[in-house]
Structure 1
Amino acid sequence: MTNLTTWQLDNWKFKEATAEEWYTATVPGCVHTDLLDLGMIEDPFEGKKELDVQWVDKRDWEYQTTFEVTEEALKQEYVVLTFHGLDTYADVRLNGHSILKANNMFRIWKVDIKDYLQLGENTLHIYFHSAVQYDLDKPDQLGYNLPADNDHSEDGGVGEKKLSVFARKAPYHYGWDWGPRFVTAGIWKDVTIEAWSDVKVQDVYLEQQHITEEKAEVLAHVEVETTEAQQVTIKITDQYGWEHTQQATLEAGQQVIDVPFTKESPRLWWSNGLGAAHLYQFHVEVVSSTDQVLSDYQLTTGLRSIKLVRKADEAGESFYFELNGIPVFAKGANHIPNDSFETRISKEDYRHEILTAVDSNMNMLRIWGGGIYEYEAFYEYCDQYGILVWQDFMFACSMYPGDEAFLANVKQEAMDQVKRLRNYACIALWCGNNEMDSAWTEYIEEAGWGWKQRYNEEQRQAIWQDYEQVFHQILPEVIDQNDPVKDYWPSSPMQDLSGTSSQHATFDSVTRGDMHYWDVWHGQQPLEAYKQNVGRFMSEYGFQSFPEERTVRTYAQEQEMALESDVMLHHQKNGAGNRLIKTYMDSYYQEPKDFSSFLHVSHILQAEAIKQAVEGHRLHMPYCMGTLYWQMNDCWPVASWSSMDYYGRWKALQFTMKDRFKPTVIIADQKEEQFTIYAVSDVIKQQEATLIYSLYDFNGSLLDQQHQQVTIEANTSSKLIEEDVANIASGDRSQTLLRCELLIGDTVVDSIDHLFEKTKHLNLQNPHIKWELADDGFVLTATSYATNVWLQAEETGFFEDNNFNLVPGIKKFVRYCQSLDPEVTDTVPVKQLQVTSMYDYITK
């Protein structure tokens, strides 16, 4: 029986440092959420109230609790206090004794507190220094501001000072071009105490050295601490009764015992769409010579091989992930924290996001480097449902200091996080930072974001040397020592770690590495440019929309429901954002009849933009092997690039991605008068299919129909048809559509409508959409062609499909499900369905 007692500290209280009165605190939590719970500040997401709470981060705050210690606990040889997350500059005292000075939100702090404990009541006190005040003089001490263009310094009342780079704290807390500025403080993860004697397993790392369907060769690194030398047995078991044992000699102190083992015919872990995400539950025990379990450790992981493949080819160099020997086309999005106050994120929030990814046929999410290393629940759900994770370290869009103390802090942070996350099957890649290599572009003077030009030569050299120390030395060394089987990529995007001009990702260098493409949106290029600018792996690109009206009304009053109102501009952190949405909308759609319609047409515009991008990327497979749009989610209600808003409500984009990320799709591509149909498949075997393409007018009359037997090649893009547009649609293109269907056997695996003109130029008539209840859903019909049909119901549930089109004479069936969980098949009974289409939104 193990000699281990564990308990979690609760019953916290807090106060402002100069105040007398203490208030009840929630831990995990932060000052802002505690003040909000007490009604001492108003909801900072409403209107412009974000600006009213900027005083909070200028104050120091104190947290305190008491806890009981028993004689039994005091008899143990070690009593260790663990802070799993302190945000950020914190002085910790136990019974009046200083035991810790913390300075990194992302580190795990452990202190042996046995010598400071007393029988009975003990007092733990934490003094949080204002991160703003703590770092306020650092730009002056350095002699210049480091680049951190996303800091909302002016909103925070600190002028032009860029402070986020000095604190090892979530960068987005200081503001971003989709998020507000709340520089938090507090205990953001659990505080626990462990009392133990004799032996303790501190950590287990399963280094998956060689994994195939025939066998899994694993090296278990078992980190053990013991108070005296002894002979033990290390026993490893799983949930199926499999067992492996090894004798070991423990020396007094801390050591790592390596235990190699092999599992024959393992059940492999696969990403969503390729197979089951099978997980093993491993139990590691240290057993004495008398068969007593001295200490144990449990972990859950999947057995799989994952690597980043970069091989020279005719076009340049590949960039794709290979899972269990299979090349994977990565389909997904970039993830940011789900709340400005991350401690409010629930397990259900994470589950909803990951189930959204699964239901949307995604297989990868990128945890972007300006947020947080996510909570365990995020990775657990990714493991469970087969979502690969591209994991950035928390550095983004800035350059950072390189003094000795900062570098040592970063190194320990990286070690803590790599060790915490390395056993998750979902982790596919460690990435050093977001956009810093391409922003600075050390080896191309005229490229980048203009950062280099702000500094003299001596400063430039120092900044770049500091960069290289972190991203080319410290981080890869930490990974090599702690997770050697996974790949490291220094910065996203980049071409290669060459130390020459070929290192940096620029728009004219798309044949190697990964690519962020922002000429559509920031560069104001037309949507069609997405298909003309395709790299080997598209790790970031995006297009904005507003959230839906009921979300907008959570932060705006009736009189503020206008594009240029102060509140609407405040909830648009990208300076030109509202203007860009309108400019693009004017190019592709008729003018919406009112602001409510404008909000929804912005969804349609966003969906069409990212659809063009994704189709462009997929039809270039295998040249391009990944598409991760910006962004999956929001941290507050805001106009942004997200496909799912702060409340988890799907925008039109999310439904479009569900459709365009299907394993096998057809893509119609029209370039002026040339028309091409492709089939793109992620399926790892060749498929024989029938392609049916039918020409209709908007009244539903069938003008022409063709059937063609086609071969869909495995795991690639295949060109099926290439024709002049005039040979397909010779009549009035403003009232004509081509419906393309792909059948494998009798099953329609994909169906698309191709319009030969922009929606703006279509001659849409009132479609008089009707719906009726059917078994487990609804059947919809229209009398005239309806585009962007949108369904809403008062009852809580999830539409199986939305933002679709209706052809007169062809019925559409849609289910309304209780849950996104694929194992829950129940539907929701709906009394009333609200149905609209593009016709309802435009000025008549």
Structure 2
Amino acid sequence: MFYNPFKYLLVFLCLLACCQNKPNQYIQVIDEHWTFKDVKGVGWLPATVPGSVHTDLINNKIIEDPFYRINEDTLQWIDKKDWEYRKTFTVPKDVLKKEQIQLHFEGLDTYANVYLNDSLVLKADNMFLGWQVPCKPLLKEGVNVLRIVLESPVKVGLKKRKRLGYELPNAVNDQSEKGGLGKKQVAVFSRKPGYHFGWDWGPRLVTSGIWKKIKVVAWDKAKLTDVFINQKKLSETEASLIAEIEIKASKDFDATIEISIDSTRKINKEVTLKKGINNLKIPITIHKPELWWTNGLGNQKLYKITTILKENNAIIDTVSKTIGLRTIKVIQEKDDVGKSFYFELNGVPVFMKGANYIPQDVFLNRVSKEDYERIIKAAVESNFNMIRVWGGGIYEKDIFYDLCDRYGMLVWQDFMFACAMYPGNDAFLDNVKKEAAYNVKRLRQHPSIALWCGDNEILTAWNNWGWIDQVTESQGEAVKDSVWKAYEAVFHDILPNTIKKYDRDRLYWSSSPSSGFGTLDSLTAGDYHYWKVWSNKEPFSKYNEVIPRFMSEYGFQSFPEFESVKKYTEEQDWDIYSEVMKSHQRSSVGNENIEYYMLKSYNKPKDFESFLYVGQLLQAKGITTAIEAHRRNMPYCMGSLYWQLNDCWPAASWSSIDYYGNWKALQYSVKEAFKPISVVPFQKDDSIEIYVVSDALKNQNAILRLKVLDFNGETLFKEEQIISVKSNSSALYFSKDVFDILEKKLLAKSLIHVELIGEGNIEIDDKVFYFKEPKDLKLTKPNINFDCTKKDINTFEVTLNSNVLAKNIFLKSNVKGRFSQNFMDVLPSKNYKISFHSEGKDITIDAFKNSLKITSLFDSF
């Protein structure tokens, strides 16, 4: 037989590429050359792991893009089938000599029967869990076969539903009728993301798949199975930590634990390990610690602490943890009106600015590292300091929390329960216990985790949405008691006890919204969700009246921009009431509400594209009103998290960044409204008030300059004063009757321009305020002039001005990238400089300039 050395070299290089070996360990990632098929089918097709059935069907051209037009409707058969994935992999002879060999499954979606060489080794039933399976007796030298059969989550859910014997109330986000199930909703029976079954901003695409990595892990003697660096005390001079180390040993032996801090200082401890699980605690002291702060308040110092297990100076295993040193508390103290609710970071009360976050795609494998980086950087640039990971999605991937650590973004972390009552049988509760312990231990090391919350809106739904009466009247008192008992078992027993055991220094908040453990929401304590603006068609002005201690949800919808809409529609669909546009709007009152509110504030747009543009202005107007009200009322109110930051598919929704990553008008407005020091004009009855809100930790002197201008730029009134901006506060600095500064007949063609000028004549902030709704303003056609210069290979600067007020200018370019500002007002005869960062290849100045289009509100009617 002909000997081909290159063949064996290729095999060796392939093995090397998929193995990530530590000292004493062998790690092989099993991620290439998978195949899949319908269990009842015959033909195997190429598959991508990590991935999902839907994306594999797309890649093999079996189905069309589920997000295009109404393709989703024709793809509901996928979740009714069982699917099988298959992979062969090679295990070298020397690996089989290792004392311990395991298969690590980091994430299986969801009901997975795993076979190794035709032997069943695992029956997984929770998408939020990782699984470790001993497999040494079943492995063979050379080729091995791994087979994973994924049972239909719908079929399994239907069986569990029938077995329960009674109906569980829910908010009907499970779009069971679209899935062909009638009223038989099954989402709550499976520990997988609720939004996969549909939500009022997302499609119904119930996935199955291998959504995280699979590894073969082999080792001798011992393995570091858990390392937690527990912060015990923190002061300016010293941080006292405890390294809580779990080691699994296959035999008794003497060993050394070496701990290094930032690869410099080392701690050594001699230990005697016993066969089985060993738990050790080793104290660590860091002198003159550098603290971790949120975005805008300081640096995000991260210490790298590496734990090394040795025997006779030979390394057996290593684990590195990145930690941040900070104290985080939720302060709830009684006061004259109720009880405070605010986050105290390193002893400083901090107003929380941010949004609710959902998974970035229905198909989780499509979210890249670059996507995570882009969304967290957008939050940072928009002056966020908190993101709420909402309970109907996933416990996010490690990279999400790593980025939050790096950029100073605190995380309000929900457990994955939302808007429904859940089963209370032993199997379900045991599954929840494992899920909670696994994810708390996985995430507790991150300095970004600020709070653990049991559920989203379940407590308030049970008590205020008619669920108690619904269950009692249709199924009786006994069923009602069983449903509530199941709630208490999860949210008042399992979850708080998990936090107490594994992360006792962080607050467990049982339900959002609420005013305390098991206590309904209130404006005078706890956190609050306010939806009467939108759901009840209350005016935006209600945001100025409904002020809670911490607003953790509120929102208003808009459509994506026209260029985004064109990606999932055809020209015949360009009407908000077309079949396709309604399909990409999952709120039952969505398009109608947008139009209702729009015509209250704006003239009717002239065409479809203009409607989308004005809809974004409307959303920005509403949410900015709320943010300014919340910040203006600090310290009574100490948080503003709007719904929602992002999308999981292209649709009309409450997002401020659309599915394709484009910033809506809202995101630009939020960036301004969340500035560290912000000027907030406000009309209270017939008085104009100017507040200055500051997150800064020091007072600073500034000039507050106010002008009343007509739309041609003529100054009608001006006043200037030197002020001391108070640290970490909101204060009123100017108040005057409207008609002391402007005649009534000029209200529709005048504005207030407020500037806050700091040291060195540097503008800290400026705001424009109007006396009338946009539809009542006497706008004239602006003549907008612009010029462009190239600053570097990917950055352009646009300088523009206008002869008259140009309201809400919208800059567009077909070059992929983003403007630093957009949708803002351009005042007469003032120059504005806006940067544009291109994401693509080198673009010439002429090409960019020719691609640029600028419109304003005047052009939309």
**In the alignment, is residue 640 of structure 1 matched against residue 667 of structure 2?**
no
Corresponding residue SS for 1:141: helix
* AA partner of residue 268 (structure 2): T
- Quote the Cα distance in structure 2 between the aligned partners of 1:392 and 1:352: 22
- Which residue number in structure 2 is paired with residue 257 of structure 1? 280
Relative distance call for 1:360 and 1:261 in structure 2 (3 A) is same
Contact 1:83 1:190 survives alignment (8 Å)? yes
- Which residue number in structure 2 is paired with residue 5 of structure 1? 26
Contact 1:145 1:161 survives alignment (8 Å)? no
Contact 2:468 2:480 survives alignment (8 Å)? no
| 1:275-330 CA distance string (max 9 Å, x none) | 11111111101122x22222111122212111211111222111111111111111
* AA partner of residue 392 (structure 1): D
Give the fraction of aligned pairs with identical amino acids, expressed as a percent.
Answer: 44
- Which residue number in structure 2 is paired with residue 331 of structure 1? 353
- Quote the Cα distance in structure 1 between the aligned partners of 2:202 and 2:93: 49
**In the alignment, is residue 376 of structure 1 matched against residue 391 of structure 2?**
no
- Quote the Cα distance in structure 2 between the aligned partners of 1:620 and 1:744: 23
- Which residue number in structure 2 is paired with residue 738 of structure 1? 752
**In the alignment, is residue 760 of structure 1 matched against residue 775 of structure 2?**
yes
- Which residue number in structure 2 is paired with residue 708 of structure 1? 721
- Quote the Cα distance in structure 1 between the aligned partners of 2:819 and 2:98: 56
The one of 504, 522, 527 aligned to 2:520: 504
Contact 2:550 2:638 survives alignment (8 Å)? yes
**In the alignment, is residue 565 of structure 1 matched against residue 587 of structure 2?**
no
* Correspondence 1:62-81 to 2 at 5 A: 62-81=84-103
| Cα offset, 1:231, TM superposition | 2.5
- Which residue number in structure 2 is paired with residue 687 of structure 1? 700
- Which residue number in structure 2 is paired with residue 778 of structure 1? 798
* AA partner of residue 323 (structure 2): T
| Cα offset, 1:86, TM superposition | 0.6
| 1:580-612 CA distance string (max 9 Å, x none) | 000000000011011110000000000001000
**In the alignment, is residue 270 of structure 1 matched against residue 293 of structure 2?**
yes
- Quote the Cα distance in structure 2 between the aligned partners of 1:472 and 1:164: 22
| Cα offset, 1:447, TM superposition | 9.2
| 1:32-86 CA distance string (max 9 Å, x none) | 0000000000111011110111000000000111111122111111001011011
The one of 824, 827, 830 aligned to 1:807: 827
- Quote the Cα distance in structure 1 between the aligned partners of 2:847 and 2:236: 44
* AA partner of residue 5 (structure 1): Y
**Which deviates the most, 296-305 or 695-704?**
296-305
Relative distance call for 1:240 and 1:9 in structure 2 (3 A) is closer
Contact 2:471 2:479 survives alignment (8 Å)? no
The one of 169, 189, 200 aligned to 2:223: 200
| Cα offset, 1:238, TM superposition | 2.3
Contact 2:716 2:742 survives alignment (8 Å)? no
Contact 1:571 1:637 survives alignment (8 Å)? yes
Relative distance call for 1:827 and 1:389 in structure 2 (3 A) is farther
* AA partner of residue 571 (structure 2): E
Relative distance call for 1:72 and 1:449 in structure 2 (3 A) is farther
* AA partner of residue 177 (structure 1): D
| Cα offset, 1:3, TM superposition | 1.3
| 1:731-776 CA distance string (max 9 Å, x none) | 4100000100011121110100110111110000001111112574
| 1:703-737 CA distance string (max 9 Å, x none) | 12110112211101001112211112224100000
* AA partner of residue 715 (structure 2): L
* AA partner of residue 504 (structure 1): L
**Which deviates the most, 512-521 or 725-734?**
725-734
- Which residue number in structure 1 is paired with residue 811 of structure 2? 791
Relative distance call for 1:593 and 1:451 in structure 2 (3 A) is farther
Q: Any unmatched runs of 5+ in structure 1?
A: 821-825
The one of 231, 234, 237 aligned to 1:214: 237
- Which residue number in structure 2 is paired with residue 699 of structure 1? 712
**In the alignment, is residue 597 of structure 1 matched against residue 578 of structure 2?**
no
| Cα offset, 1:646, TM superposition | 0.3
Contact 1:211 1:324 survives alignment (8 Å)? no
Relative distance call for 1:221 and 1:454 in structure 2 (3 A) is farther
The one of 130, 136, 141 aligned to 1:114: 136
| Cα offset, 1:233, TM superposition | 2.2
Contact 2:174 2:197 survives alignment (8 Å)? yes
**Which deviates the most, 185-194 or 375-384?**
375-384
| Cα offset, 1:828, TM superposition | 11
- Quote the Cα distance in structure 1 between the aligned partners of 2:356 and 2:570: 31
Relative distance call for 1:828 and 1:466 in structure 2 (3 A) is farther
**In the alignment, is residue 474 of structure 1 matched against residue 494 of structure 2?**
yes
**In the alignment, is residue 623 of structure 1 matched against residue 636 of structure 2?**
yes
Contact 2:804 2:829 survives alignment (8 Å)? no
* AA partner of residue 336 (structure 1): I
Corresponding residue SS for 2:716: strand
- Quote the Cα distance in structure 1 between the aligned partners of 2:597 and 2:189: 38
**In the alignment, is residue 834 of structure 1 matched against residue 856 of structure 2?**
no
Aligned length, in residue pairs = 827
- Quote the Cα distance in structure 2 between the aligned partners of 1:656 and 1:475: 37
* Correspondence 1:347-362 to 2 at 5 A: 347-362=369-384
Corresponding residue SS for 2:534: coil
The one of 104, 108, 114 aligned to 2:126: 104
- Which residue number in structure 2 is paired with residue 823 of structure 1? none
Q: Any unmatched runs of 5+ in structure 2?
A: 1-21, 792-796
Relative distance call for 1:177 and 1:390 in structure 2 (3 A) is same
* AA partner of residue 331 (structure 2): V
- Quote the Cα distance in structure 1 between the aligned partners of 2:63 and 2:558: 29
RMSD across aligned C-alpha pairs, in angstroms? 1.7
- Quote the Cα distance in structure 2 between the aligned partners of 1:144 and 1:723: 62
**In the alignment, is residue 177 of structure 1 matched against residue 193 of structure 2?**
no
Contact 1:797 1:828 survives alignment (8 Å)? no
- Quote the Cα distance in structure 2 between the aligned partners of 1:136 and 1:555: 32
* Correspondence 1:109-148 to 2 at 5 A: 109-148=131-170
| 1:495-531 CA distance string (max 9 Å, x none) | 011x5xxx101xxx20100000101001110001111
* Correspondence 1:414-433 to 2 at 5 A: 414-433=436-455
| Cα offset, 1:202, TM superposition | 1.1
- Quote the Cα distance in structure 2 between the aligned partners of 1:263 and 1:206: 12
* Correspondence 1:336-485 to 2 at 5 A: 336-441=358-463, 455-485=475-505
- Which residue number in structure 1 is paired with residue 114 of structure 2? 92
- Quote the Cα distance in structure 2 between the aligned partners of 1:213 and 1:576: 54
* TM-score when normalising by structure 2: 0.94
* Correspondence 1:538-557 to 2 at 5 A: 538-557=551-570
Dislocated runs of 4+, deviation >3 Å: 444-455, 826-829
* TM-score when normalising by structure 1: 0.96
- Quote the Cα distance in structure 1 between the aligned partners of 2:354 and 2:474: 36
Corresponding residue SS for 2:277: strand
The one of 295, 301, 305 aligned to 1:282: 305
- Quote the Cα distance in structure 1 between the aligned partners of 2:772 and 2:286: 58
Contact 1:224 1:256 survives alignment (8 Å)? yes
| 1:393-442 CA distance string (max 9 Å, x none) | 1110011000000000010011111111111121111111111011112x
- Quote the Cα distance in structure 1 between the aligned partners of 2:238 and 2:231: 11
- Quote the Cα distance in structure 2 between the aligned partners of 1:828 and 1:264: 56
* AA partner of residue 60 (structure 1): D
Corresponding residue SS for 2:769: strand
* AA partner of residue 150 (structure 1): N
Relative distance call for 1:670 and 1:454 in structure 2 (3 A) is farther
| Cα offset, 1:445, TM superposition | 9.4
- Which residue number in structure 1 is paired with residue 6 of structure 2? none
Contact 2:24 2:315 survives alignment (8 Å)? no
**Which deviates the most, 518-527 or 204-213?**
204-213
Contact 1:164 1:174 survives alignment (8 Å)? yes
- Quote the Cα distance in structure 1 between the aligned partners of 2:300 and 2:769: 36
Corresponding residue SS for 2:532: coil
